[in-house]
A = this chain, B = another copy of it.
Amino acid sequence: MDPRFSLNQITTRAWSLPEAVAGCAEAGVEWIGLWRDKVAQIGADEAARLLKEYGVRVSSLCRGGFFTGVTPEGDPVDGVAQTREAIDEAAQLGAEVLVLVVGGISGGDLAGSRQRVADAVGELAPYAGERGVRLGLEPLHPMQCAERSVLSTVDQAVRMAEEHPEETVGVIVDEFHVWWDPRIEESIAAAAGRIAGFHVCDQLVPLPDPLLGRALPGDGPIDHRHLRACVEAAGYTGPIEVEVFNAELWQRPGAEVLAETIRAFETYVT
């Protein structure tokens, strides 16, 4: 198995964190991407203990963000305060990076919302830097701009990250969100030194839903080897997460899904 393979635990959603960590160890998987709601079910101390016991490392923690003050459901949220907590948790778990979903449009003001995001990253970067946590700005698919992320392209994320030290603020390249971008090759090249994560999956065609339209690599139009070559040419040598939001996959047992995920990765990404 490619030692860079990482299971983002949303892919095996039926599994608890202890099940996912044990399942990775069982399958020889060295990396896992964790979600905060799964960590909360057992507490960060116990999660850190399990990771050490099984020898599994954390490629990323999902997630901080929502800096524009509203959740996707329209409820108020203090994204900066919550992200401080997430930074502490990432440090405790030894996560390589904290993924940021920056938040959607607030008050009907797209430009103002983008500025709020830039301001929040400016406020949090020193806090993260002091704790040795790298923030990963993740551009989300334009269909999620209104309610989830006013950060939509790698180019835009790189320009925002460049205001900060590269070891503190990086960019997550998630294929699902950016594969269609006519400037993706040059944008990834410009992200050299800034790439804090590479997430792979495929897109269902036609898209059934903006959130659950993902599939395992090989089941859609994305050229994984091409995009992998781009991030590697830009110097990224870290773990590669497979992160699939898929209602059908989520119904199936975790071990079966992990085995199929590894096969898809070896066939289409490696």
Contacts and interface: CB of A to CB of B under 8 A. Distances in A.
A232 to B, nearest CB: 18
Contacts of A155: 182-183
A145 interface: yes
Copy number in the complex reads 2
Interface of A is mostly: loop
Interface string A202-225: 010111001000000000110100
Nearest to A72: B206
10 contacts: A108-B223, A114-B182, A142-B142, A142-B143, A142-B180, A146-B180, A146-B221, A147-B205, A152-B182, A156-B183
Contact of A153 (B145, B156, B182, B223): B182
Contacts of A180: 110, 142, 145-146, 152
Nearest to A210: B207
Interface string A170-205: 000000000111110000000000000000000101
A220 B141 CA distance: 18
Given A206-B210, A210-B206, A220 B146 contact: yes
A147 B206 CA distance: 7
Contacts of A220: 146
Given A145-B180, A147-B205, A207-B210, 9 more contacts: A72-B206, A108-B223, A110-B179, A114-B182, A141-B142, A143-B210, A146-B203, A155-B183, A210-B210
Contacts of A141: 142-143
Nearest to A205: B146
